[in-house]
Amino acid sequence: METSPKANPQFAKLPPICQTLFEAKKKKKISFEKIGQKIGRNEVWVAAVFYGQAKPTPEDIEKLSSVLDIPTSYMAADLGDNFFPDRGGLMSVPPTDPTLYRFYEIIQVYGYPMKQVIHEKFGDGIMSAIDFNMNIDKVEKPEGNRVIITLDGKFLPYKKF
């Protein structure tokens, strides 16, 4: 169940347009997945826009405006040319939300093993979070539903100089 923007302290750090987006989404009773399908974007990217973590193109703004019934001029004023995402900083570290804490815990426990496997397979470098895609899927199983998260980032070798 989605929390109301006014009832959730995480929204206090977001630009006002973000609250408008969440309110329109709630009013339309539409999921990030459906919005993404209607505008031709991944649901995680759409959610990132709602949190001020991604910059929509003018075409994205027009499509979002249409889907959410928010005037394009209003959205363009707040998400257009002068908007630049302020990525990160929305949560405390470690996060206190149980779902977010699990991701922190995964990195605490498996971060170095993941890093080593990347280095063994690719060499000295990192996975890009800029040239990057993510998918979240649900697999229903009798013993309990499973969350499948795919992180797909370009490998960036460290430059020798």
Structure-token pair, residue 57: 């193109």
The set of catalytic residues is: 102, 105, 128
The beta strand positions in 5-143, using DSSP E, are 125-139
What does the alpha-carbon distance between residue 136 and residue 123 come to, in Å, rounded to a whole number?
27
Tokens 């991944």 map to which residue?
A: 42
In the chain, what is the greatest distance between 2 CA atoms, to the nearest angstrom? 54
In terms of C-beta density within 10 A (0-12 exposed, 13-18 middle, 19 or more buried), how is residue 109 classed?
A: exposed
Structure-token pair, residue 76: 């363009």
What does the alpha-carbon distance between residue 114 and residue 119 come to, in Å, rounded to a whole number?
9
